[in-house]
Structures are given as C-alpha cells and as structure tokens.
C-alpha cells in the first residue's frame, strides 16, 4: 500500500473547491478525516507568564495535520524535559481544510479498471491548516530565565515544517 502523497502537491493555498453537481449527494465532501492533534494547550494553565515566544510564518503555506502533531510532540517534550511544567504552550491554528486525492491506477490493464478523470472529485485523504504570512503557529509563554529553552524548542519544530519560519519574542497581552 502506498504511503502519503508528497506534500508538494498540497503546499500552495487554494480556495476550497466546491463541486457543483445536479445531484445533491455528489456536491459535498462526505466525510472529513479526524485530526491527529487532540489537545491544543499544554503546561501550567493557571500561571501568568511575562514573555511570549512565537513561531511565525514568513509566507503563505498549507501544513498537514500530521506535521503539526509531529511538531507539537517534539516541542512539548523538549519544554517539559527542560523546564518541568513551568510553561504554557499553545497551538494557534486548527487544521480544517480537507485534502482530496483522486487515485488513478497505473500499469498494465489500468485502462480497463480506472475511470480516468470521470467524476474526479477525489476522496478526502487528510486535513491541513492554512497559514497566512505573519500568522502565529505556536506560542510558548515562559518566565525570563527560560526564554532560551523555549526558542530552542521552537527551532526544533522549524525543521519539521515546510516554508520559512521566524521565532520572535514579545510581551503577551494575555496568556489566552
């Protein structure tokens, strides 16, 4: 069985395509796959932290939910091992855009089994978050002595994401 399709097929942001059909049941995505991200806030939820370190996009891009989950795991693990529960880590985006794929057979005899481009709406294969330029992806709220550790954790997440990212430090308005 083939794995995931290369993400270069989905990286550019496009408006969600709505199928127009004279048959109502063929005019919408029937089932949306569930997201691998289950929890969006980690750490000490009751404490107020004076510093916010954020991962910000430098251009528009789409990120698949499994890449976001991978980044979440590495950042949360690094933060918890280096500072204990003395941080607040927040995922700022929700993957909502449905990715579809029209699978076509290849090889000998494929022309007798495949319908080609007839009714090529595609099946939902995953979901992605659409990130605009300058939008925050992750935010870590910490005390001043832990700023370097938070930047290090977000730098590990940058390697797992498409696109160019910057890490900025600012004073939060509110931790929420």
Domains of the chain, first to last: 44-102+119-176 (3.90.1170.10)
Going from the C-alpha of 163 to that of each of 100, 133, 160, 166, the distances in angstroms are: 21, 10, 10, 10
Across the chain, what does the average pLDDT equal?
84
Q: What is the mean pLDDT of residues 135-156?
A: 95
What angle do the packed helices 147-158 and 65-83 form, to 10 degrees? 150
* pLDDT (0 to 100) of residue 76: 95
Beta-ladder partners of 56: 136, 166
Give residue 15's pLDDT: 72
Chain mean position to CA 166: 16
Q: If pLDDT is split at 50, 70 and 90, which confidence band does 165 have?
A: very high
Q: Which whole number is the average pLDDT over 109-133?
A: 75
Helix (H) / strand (E) element for 124: namely strand 123-131
Instruction: Report yes or no: 114 and 102 within 8 Å, Cβ to Cβ.
Output: no
CA–CA gap between residue 162 and residue 153 (Å, rounded): 17
Q: What is the pLDDT of residue 2?
A: 59
CA–CA dist 115, 70 (Å, integer): 36
Cα dihedral 166, 167, 169, 174, rounded to 10, equals 100
pLDDT digits (tens, 9 = 90+) for 38-59: 899 999 999 999 999 999 999 9
- Record the tokens describing residue 174, joined without a space: 């509110």
Kindly tell me if the per-residue pLDDT of 176 is higher than 60.
Answer: no
Distance CA 134, CA 160 (A): 18
pTM above 0.85, yes or no: no
In the prediction, which pLDDT does 68 show?
A: 93
């Amino acid at each position: 069985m083939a794995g995931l399709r290369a993400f270069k097929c989905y990286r550019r942001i496009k408006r969600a395509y709505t199928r127009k059909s004279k048959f109502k049941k063929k005019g919408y995505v029937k089932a949306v796959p569930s997201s691998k991200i289950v929890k969006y806030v980690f750490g000490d939820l009751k404490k107020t932290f004076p510093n916010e370190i954020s991962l910000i996009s430098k251009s528009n891009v789409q990120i698949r939910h499994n890449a976001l989950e991978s980044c979440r795991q590495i950042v949360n693990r690094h933060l918890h091992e280096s500072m204990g529960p003395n941080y607040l880590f927040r995922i700022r985006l929700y993957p909502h855009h449905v990715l579809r794929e029209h699978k076509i057979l290849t090889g000998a005899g494929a022309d007798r089994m495949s319908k080609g481009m007839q009714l090529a709406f595609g099946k939902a294969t995953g979901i992605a978050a659409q990130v605009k330029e300058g939008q925050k992806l992750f935010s870590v709220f910490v005390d001043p002595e832990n700023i370097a550790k938070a930047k290090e954790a977000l730098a590990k997440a940058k390697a797992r994401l498409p696109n160019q990212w910057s890490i900025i430090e600012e004073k939060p308005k509110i931790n929420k």
